[in-house]
């Protein structure tokens, strides 16, 4: 981490490649590229309702992005966000239904906590496999994703369902629902986005201003060196990974209490994987994750409108996301100055930002 601005500068080339991709796509589909970009904007922010939807989509994305970045801080890759989110959501819905008698000051936080806890529990096998058997957490979290989805599917169609043929739980009691806070359009926005942003600020401070955050970062940077300085690497990796799972579970829980008010089969439209892009677009800096989560939320919100107005498949957004992630990944070994040369403004900005003290 070299300076405050470097995460932003990591995003710029990726955005440029993304826009280039949109232009190529527009050319292939025989529409004006300007039309395409305007359609994306309209779909995401064109009206009050669209803005509300985008903001509410940004919440789980921010949290899964935080999850990935917290794990990556200690050097681990948590790809299990899908499973952790799904089970966290199911846990939250189930808890709310079972503990329906509790008053709202207890029920609301406990519901959300239940989701976070289950998310952490689902991350536990993966980190355990890594520390005891050396199995890479990517393989185990991916397998656990599938297990989670089938498990949730079975539970929601069976014992935890609402008894109808629809694969969903009953609606959670109103005491556990997060109320609308800002009446934007007809949909409104809950406190969830703000909560997520505050959480990300908290993680940012912890990571960069405390000695514990420093220790965890050292573990991710060079576990051998951290160990030789007496830092318990295994413990930090486990802690960060469990918190990562908890964050993904929290994302699921908030989706239930703030947006859908119940759990249903195939709950996550891929938020767990989006978290990877959210995190890497801003170089895993928690304080900037809100920006990339807004970007990805915009893309996700826009996909329906793109389909309606321009006939573009929603899968296109997934491709765009992948392109963004690839561009960000390529930058790690690829200095801007190679492409643009010394005279270019962007390269100069990049070098300048590296000299700004934090």
Partner 1 sequence: MATLQLFTLTLGKTAPILLACMGGLLSERTGVINFALEGMMLMGAFFAVWLTFLSGSPWIGLLGGAAGGILIGLMHSLICLRFRANQIVSSIALNLLAAGVSGMLLNEVFQVYGTSPSVEKLPTLNQFGIERLPVLGDTLSVCAGELSVLVPVAIVLSLALIAFFKWSVWGLHLRACGENPLAAKAAGLSVNRIRWLAISAGGALAGIGGAYLSIGELSGFVEQMTQGRGYLAIAALILGCWRPSGILLATLFFGLSGAVSEWLAVRWTDLPYQLFLVFPYLVCLAVLLFQVGKKQPPSALGRL
Partner 2 sequence: MNVVPLLDMQNISKRYGDSWANRDTSLQVLPGEIHALVGENGAGKSTLMKILFGLVKPDKGSVYVNGKPAFFRHPREALKAGIGMVQQQLLIFPQLTCLENIVLGCESKRWGGLFKRQETERQLLDLGRLFGFDLQLDAMAGALPFAQRQQIELLRVLYRGATILILDEPTSLLAPPEVEKLLSLLKTLQAQGSTVIFISHRLQEVFSIADRITILRKGKSIGTRKIDHTSSEEVAALIMAGNHPLPALDDGGLKKADPIQPAEEPPQRAPILSLQQVSVPREEVEAGLADFSLQAREGEVLGIGGVVGNGQRVLAHVLAGLKKVDKGKILFRSREITGFPGSRLLRMGLRWLPANSLEEGALPELSLWENMLLGFQRTPFCQSSGWLHKTRIRNWTEQQLNASEVAYSNLQQSINSLSGGNQQKLVLSRTLSDRPQLVILEQPGRGLDIHAQRKMHLRIKSLNREGVTFLVLSYDLEELLVLSDRIGILYRGRLMGLMNSAEADRQMLGKWMLGLPA
C-alpha span between 72 and 11 (Å, rounded): 18
163 makes contact with partner 1 (CB under 8 A): no
Window 189 to 218, contacts with partner 2 (CB under 8 A)? 209-212, 214-215, 217-218
333 makes contact with partner 1 (CB under 8 A): yes
* DSSP secondary structure letters along 259-311: IISS-BSS--SSHHHHHHHHHHHTTT-GGGHHHHHHHHHHHHHHHHHHHHHH-
For residue 168, give the DSSP letter: B
Name the minimum Å distance from CB 65 to partner 1: 14
354 makes contact with partner 2 (CB under 8 A): yes
Task: Specify whether the CB–CB gap between 61 and 271 falls below 8 A.
Answer: yes
Query: SS3 of 76, please?
Result: coil
4: phi then psi, degrees, rounded to nearest 5: -65, -35
C-alpha span between 350 and 58 (Å, rounded): 28
122 versus 195: smaller Cβ distance to partner 1:
122
101 makes contact with partner 1 (CB under 8 A): no
Name the minimum Å distance from CB 231 to partner 2: 7
280 makes contact with partner 1 (CB under 8 A): yes
| 178, 236, 273, 305: residue in contact with partner 1 (rule CB under 8 A) | 273
Please choose which of partner 1, partner 2, none residue 358 contacts, taking the beta carbon within 5 to 8 angstroms, the exact cut-off set by kind.
Answer: partner 2
194 makes contact with partner 1 (CB under 8 A): no
**Exposure of 37 by Cβ count < 10 A (0-12 exposed, 13-18 middle, 19+ buried)?**
middle
Task: Specify whether the CB–CB gap between 75 and 227 falls below 8 A.
Answer: no
Q: CA torsion 18→19→20→25, rounded to 10°?
A: 90
Window 229 to 248, contacts with partner 2 (CB under 8 A)? 229-232
Name the minimum Å distance from CB 325 to partner 2: 20
Residues that bind partner 1 (CB under 8 A): 77, 79, 125, 129, 133-136, 138-140, 142-147, 150-151, 153-154, 158, 273, 276, 280, 313, 315-323, 325-326, 329-334
Residues that bind partner 2 (CB under 8 A): 1-3, 209-212, 214-215, 217-218, 221-222, 224-232, 354-358
């Amino acid at each position: 981490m070299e300076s405050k601005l470097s995460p932003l500068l990591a995003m710029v080339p990726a955005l440029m490649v993304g826009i280039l991709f949109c232009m190529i796509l527009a050319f292939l589909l025989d529409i004006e590229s300007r039309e395409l970009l305007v359609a994306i904007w309209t779909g995401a922010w064109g009206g009050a309702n669209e803005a509300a939807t985008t903001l509410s989509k940004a919440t789980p994305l921010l949290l899964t992005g935080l999850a990935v970045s917290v794990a990556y801080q200690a050097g681990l890759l948590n790809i299990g966000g899908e499973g952790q989110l799904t089970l966290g959501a199911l846990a939250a819905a189930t808890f709310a239904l079972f503990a329906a008698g509790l008053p709202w000051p207890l029920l609301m936080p406990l519901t959300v906590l239940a989701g976070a806890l289950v998310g952490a529990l689902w991350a536990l096998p993966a980190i355990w496999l890594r520390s005891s058997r050396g199995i890479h957490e990517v393989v185990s979290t991916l397998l656990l994703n599938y297990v989670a989805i089938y498990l949730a599917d079975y539970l929601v169609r069976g014992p935890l369902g609402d008894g109808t043929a629809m694969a969903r739980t009953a609606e959670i009691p109103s005491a556990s629902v997060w109320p609308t806070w800002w009446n934007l359009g007809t949909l409104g926005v809950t406190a969830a986005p703000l909560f997520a942003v505050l959480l990300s600020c908290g993680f940012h401070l912890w990571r960069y201003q405390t000695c514990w955050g420093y220790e965890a970062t050292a573990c991710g940077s060079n576990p051998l060196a951290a160990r030789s300085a007496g830092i318990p690497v295994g413990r930090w990796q486990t802690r960060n990974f469990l918190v990562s799972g908890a964050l993904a579970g929290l994302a699921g829980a908030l989706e239930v209490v703030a947006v859908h008010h119940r759990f249903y089969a195939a709950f996550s439209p891929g938020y767990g994987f989006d978290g990877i892009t959210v995190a890497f677009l801003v170089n895993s800096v928690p304080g900037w994750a809100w920006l990339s989560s807004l970007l990805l939320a915009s893309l996700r919100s826009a996909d329906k409108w793109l389909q309606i107005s321009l006939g573009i498949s929603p899968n296109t957004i997934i491709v765009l996301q992948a392109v963004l992630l690839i561009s960000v990944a390529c930058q790690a070994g690829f200095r801007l100055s190679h492409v643009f040369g010394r005279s270019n403004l962007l390269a100069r900005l990049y070098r300048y930002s590296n000299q700004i003290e934090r």
